[in-house]
Chain A
Amino acid sequence: MLHKQKNKQQEEGETAIKPDDEELIERFQNGDVYAFDLIVQRYKEPLINFIYYYLGNRLDAEDVVQETFIRLYKKKDMYRKIAKFSTWIYTIASNLAKTELRKRKRRRTLSLSKIGYDDKDFEIPDEELKPDSIVENEMKFDFIKKEIDKLPDRFKEVVVLRDMEQLSYEEISDILHIPIGTVKSRVNRGRKRLQSNLTFLKE
């Protein structure tokens, strides 16, 4: 009971001050497990979206993101303030997702083109985004998702990070450990390929 009250007080404090990521990880490194919960709360959704569109499967995305948080829990002391925390956690998630892709390729049992049909519990898009009439249809979302799945991995990850997760080129460069020029080039090539495959855009 006391613990719950303490948590509630802390939550109220969080909403008022909202500590930044680096402060949270520092608190966690000093033994504050509640800071870990806040990190999970803050990052689980963006990470799941990134991994979901990268791997194409919701269950795998959740597994990878949970594994990301387990790594963070176990290796919290490996984080140094020289890097942005968001970059660090995206790097862990991205590496785990790549490992998952490699496993899949070895297994050769799961076709990337066939996954994702059962993932229907989408959040309804925010009205403020004003999607035009074309993309309001769920079938179109499925079609776009399949086209994203078809992109080569190196293009897909940067397109998802840039155009869907809205990360800057610099952040993507830090996450993937590749030069900004390479990120830009891959993003544009990925966009071009996706654009030519999304034929309905020309209607």
Chain B
Amino acid sequence: MKNCRYYKQLMYSLYDDELGPNEILELENHMASCDECREFYNCAKKMKTVLQAMPRIRPSENFNILLREKLRRESAARLHQSNSFVRYAMPAFGIGMVVLAVGVLSVKSLSRNNAGNSVANRTPVSRVQYENSDNHNVNYVIEEYNAKSNEEMITDIDSHTDSLKSLRDTHHLKARITPVSF
């Protein structure tokens, strides 16, 4: 059942020129028998005229002058910002680069020294921790040894470990042999 609410919606579609001929006819038939809808439609029609006839505002005469002035100020502010960047950010960037370069050089020279040490067969140290039957930790330090390569070093540690294992068997130490550091 189509009620007045439905027809009022149709009226706004008519207002927008969006109704087909059949719908217009249907609306007209309804309005012929409904005073309230007829009055509503007349008001809607008047409102359309009124809104379209509302005074148009003209931009003020100095609109373009003000706009240009604002654009000029905007450009000046941007220029100032970029100048500030050049004035402060560029030196800061330069200093940063110098610090970075010094850091990189230091790290390189340090690693070169380390490499020299390994070539000279400096002595890595391994500590092995045991737990004896009284739950007391016992640290065994694998003595200094010379190794020419990692493989040799590992073999060396293994041999020490083997000797420690036998030591463990001899002294009834609980089996936990953990290399702590190298």
Cross-chain contact B56 with A123 (CB below 8 angstroms) = yes
* Secondary structure dominating the interface of B: helix
Is the beta-carbon distance between A123 and B55 smaller than 8 angstroms? yes
Interface positions of A from 42 to 65, Cβ below 8 Å from B: 44-45, 48-49, 52-53, 58, 61-62, 65
Residues of B within 8 A of A202 (CB): 39, 43
Q: Is the CB of B71 within 8 A of A73?
A: yes
CA distance A192 to B54 in the complex (A): 18
Chain A residue contacts of B74, Cβ below 8 A? 70, 73-74
Cβ < 8 Å to A, chain B residues 13-72: 15-16, 39-40, 42-44, 46-60, 63-64, 66-67, 70-71
B109 within 8 Å of A by Cβ?
Answer: no
B:66-101 near A, CB below 8 Å: 66-67, 70-71, 74
Interface of A is mostly: helix
Are A129's CB and B52's CB within 8 A?
A: yes
Chain B residues bordering chain A, tally (CB within 8 A)? 32
Quick check: is A40 within 8 A (CB to CB) of the other chain?
yes
Minimum C-beta distance from A103 to chain B (A):
18
Most chain A CB within a 10 A radius of its CB, from B16, B48, B51:
B51
The residue on B at minimum CB distance from A47 is: B59
Q: Which residues of A contact B (CB under 8 A)?
A: 40, 44-45, 48-49, 52-53, 58, 61-62, 65-66, 69-70, 73-74, 119, 121-125, 129-132, 134-135, 140-141, 144-145, 159, 163-164, 166, 169, 187-188, 191-192, 194-195, 198, 201-202
- With most chain A CB atoms within 10 A of its CB, the pick from B8, B60, B67 is B67
Q: How far is the CA of A164 from the CA of B49 in the complex (A)?
A: 10
